[in-house]
Amino acid sequence: MLLGQVRTHGGGSVQPAVSASLAAARPRRFSRSVTASGLRLGIRRAASRSLLASALAPALAVLLATTTCSQPEGVELSGSVRDASGSRIPHVLVLITDAEREVAEVTTAGGDGSFRIEGISPSPSYKLEVRGPSGFEPNVQDLDLTADRYLEIVLEVEPIVEAIVISGQPPQPGSIRPDEPRRRVRVGGNLQRARLVHYVPPTFPPDAERQGLGGTVLLEGVIGREGRLAGLSTLNSVADERLAAAASDAVLQWRYDPTLLNGRPVETAVTISVAFEIP
């Protein structure tokens, strides 16, 4: 039997009063020790949490900024272009314009006839124009783009318009009344459209190509009387700046035989689309 213990009738033992007093006193010392240790541990944990929060704050800020930047602003227009038989038409030009706000966006459909324009400024007053190969009539319609839209565009075969002129014999001199003056009419309408005679192909920007970034750049300018381009500007705002710069640099080197109206060169407005495609 241990010192200070008293055996009970059941064979057990109990602590004497002194041991009970010591036992009663120990919890108070132990409680103070635990409280101090817990306080120190709490301070260390709070400091660790503060340091962790300070370390994570920049990372969280970058993550939030990245998440915010990765979400495209505006609405999306997508769809596909088919002919009347249901077959897809590749590489058609898809153009949307808002004349009131002077906004224009453009893209070129892929080889499967599908297209997508992201980040469009919402508006209920867009006009959509889809231009296919020669022989197809353009599809033109008003378009509400206040939310994402998917369109199935069908291009109809362009109607054939024939115009012929049947000329009769001029009147005999005697049939003209003496008091009726002979009128001279200047005949015009002789138009020869500008023709591209010097072509410089745009170069795909290497960094955009490595990123798999493509798109269509819509340019507008004027072909002068000497056949040079002037006042060239980019119409669509969602085109990547690198693609727009590459397209402009090349197109400014193009040369034309100017438009001739009744044999005289005249200035002509021109719209040029340059599609950068990633297969």
Tens digit of pLDDT for each residue in 199-226?
999 999 999 999 999 999 999 999 999 9
Predicted pLDDT at 36: 46
What confidence score (pLDDT) does residue 43 get? Answer: 47
The residue extents of the domains of the chain are: 16-70, 75-155, 188-276
**H or E element, residue 257:** strand 255-257
Q: Phi/psi class of residue 140: alpha, beta or left (left: φ > 0; alpha: ψ in -120 to 50)? A: beta
Query: With helix as H, strand as E and coil as C, how does 187-240 read?
Result: CCCCEECCEEEECCCCCCCHHHHHCCCCEEEEEEEEECCCCEEEEEEECECCCC
Architecture in CATH for domain 188-276 = 2-Layer Sandwich (3.30)
Within 10 angstroms of residue 110's Cβ, the number of other Cβ atoms is 19
pLDDT band at 27 (very low <50, low <70, confident <90, very high): very low
Spatial neighbors of 215 by CB under 8 A, at least 6 apart, are 107, 238, 239, 240, 243, 275, 276
- Residue 158 banded pLDDT, cuts 50, 70, 90: confident
pLDDT (0 to 100) of residue 99: 84
Round the average pLDDT of the chain to a whole number and report it.
77
CA distance 164 to 159: 16
Judged by average pLDDT, the poorest of 110-114, 169-173, 181-185 is 181-185
The superfamily in CATH containing domain 75-155 is Immunoglobulins (2.60.40.10)
Q: How far apart are CA 118 and CA 214, in angstroms?
A: 13
The pLDDT, as a whole number, for residue 77 is 96
Residue 154 binned pLDDT confidence (cut-offs 50, 70, 90): very high
- For the chain, the distance separating the N- and C-terminal CA atoms, rounded to the nearest angstrom, is 92
Residue 132 CB partners (closer than 8 Å, separation 6+) = 81, 89, 92, 138, 155
- Between 157 and 8, the more confident residue is 157
User: H helices within the chain, ranges in order?
Assistant: 17-70, 206-210, 241-251
